[in-house]
């Protein structure tokens, strides 16, 4: 799997949200896109997911242009977007089921992924009965049940409290190592990006302002000097108003 975003531009009405964005994602890579709200990072994810089409430039997977949503690119939404009328198991079985698996097969697959996220006991619960963190686990399991090559995550832990958030980050790394998929993860938390990513794309005002490669071993220690230094450098870019020249 290789995702290539090349010279992509996207605008709504007279506002250009993305201005010439290029980057690539390789197999089993964990990429974080970091930026303030309104910097275009969600638009970028929606383009990769196939919900939107670029005005200029191209989004390709293995050389084939992205024409619409596909089960090979799973999406985890910030507001989890679970189907409230299905219980947890049937939410996860949704993908396999619409892809033509029988009900029993789909549920079998769903059980496997429910186990992966550690929620076997809640198979029969409805989304409204779960806590925020549990809903997001179900959201992740549902996206994974279609066995995507690339998982797109749009600020998935943004609405969670700090303790749940840290636990979910660890869980996500475990799942990522186990399944060997690629992840494109959007966040506005610098620390979260440094904790998770192989590569961090810092976005500013519709550009990729700078790219950082993170080589520290996982699990990463927040107290480590290298960690703190990286967080500091990224924060400087994000808060630096004179930094317009960086993207060139």
Chain residues in the site for another protein (CB under 8 A): 49-51, 68-71, 73-75, 77, 79, 81, 83-87, 94-95, 98-99, 122, 124-131, 133-134, 142-143, 146, 164, 167
Q: Which is closer to another protein, CB of 136 or CB of 189? A: 136
The CA R_g of the chain, rounded to the nearest whole Å, is 18
Q: Which is closer to another protein, CB of 69 or CB of 236? A: 69
CB 85 within 8 A of CB 127: no
- Cβ 76 to another protein, closest distance in Å? 9
- Cβ 231 to another protein, closest distance in Å? 27
Q: Which is closer to another protein, CB of 53 or CB of 235? A: 53
CA–CA dist 226, 228 (Å, integer): 5
Q: Which is closer to another protein, CB of 31 or CB of 151? A: 151
Q: Which is closer to another protein, CB of 88 or CB of 194? A: 88
- Cβ 162 to another protein, closest distance in Å? 13
Q: Which is closer to another protein, CB of 24 or CB of 69? A: 69
CA–CA dist 235, 186 (Å, integer): 16
- Cβ 194 to another protein, closest distance in Å? 24
- Cβ 192 to another protein, closest distance in Å? 19
- Cβ 247 to another protein, closest distance in Å? 29
Which tokens sit at 67?
A: 């024409």
Q: Which residues contact 237 (CB under 8 A, 6 or more apart)?
A: 202, 204, 209, 210, 243, 246
CA–CA dist 143, 125 (Å, integer): 18
Q: Which is closer to another protein, CB of 117 or CB of 230? A: 117
- Cβ 69 to another protein, closest distance in Å? 4
């Amino acid at each position: 799997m290789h995702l290539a975003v090349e010279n992509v531009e996207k605008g709504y009405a007279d506002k250009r949200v993305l201005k010439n964005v290029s980057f690539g994602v390789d197999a089993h890579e964990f990429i974080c896109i970091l930026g303030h709200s309104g910097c275009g990072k969600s638009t970028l994810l929606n383009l990769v997911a196939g919900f939107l089409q670029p005005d200029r430039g191209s989004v390709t997977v293995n050389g084939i242009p992205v024409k619409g949503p596909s089960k090979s690119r799973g999406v985890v939404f910030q507001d989890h977007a679970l189907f409230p009328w299905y219980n947890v198991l049937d939410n996860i079985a949704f993908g396999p089921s619409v892809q033509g698996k029988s009900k029993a097969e789909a549920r079998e697959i769903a059980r496997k992924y429910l186990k992966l996220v550690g929620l076997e006991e809640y198979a029969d619960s409805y989304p409204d009965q779960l806590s925020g963190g549990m809903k997001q686990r179900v959201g992740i399991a549902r996206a994974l049940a279609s066995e995507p090559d690339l998982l797109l995550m749009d600020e998935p832990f943004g609405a969670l409290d700090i303790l749940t958030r840290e636990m979910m980050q660890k869980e996500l790394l475990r799942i990522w190592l186990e399944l060997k998929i690629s992840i494109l993860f959007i966040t506005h938390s610098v620390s979260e990006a440094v904790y998770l990513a192989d590569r961090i794309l810092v976005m500013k005002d519709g550009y990729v302002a700078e790219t950082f490669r993170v080589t520290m071993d996982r699990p990463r220690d927040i107290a480590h000097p290298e960690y703190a230094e990286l967080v500091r450098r990224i924060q400087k870019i994000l808060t630096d108003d004179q930094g317009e020249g960086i993207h060139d």
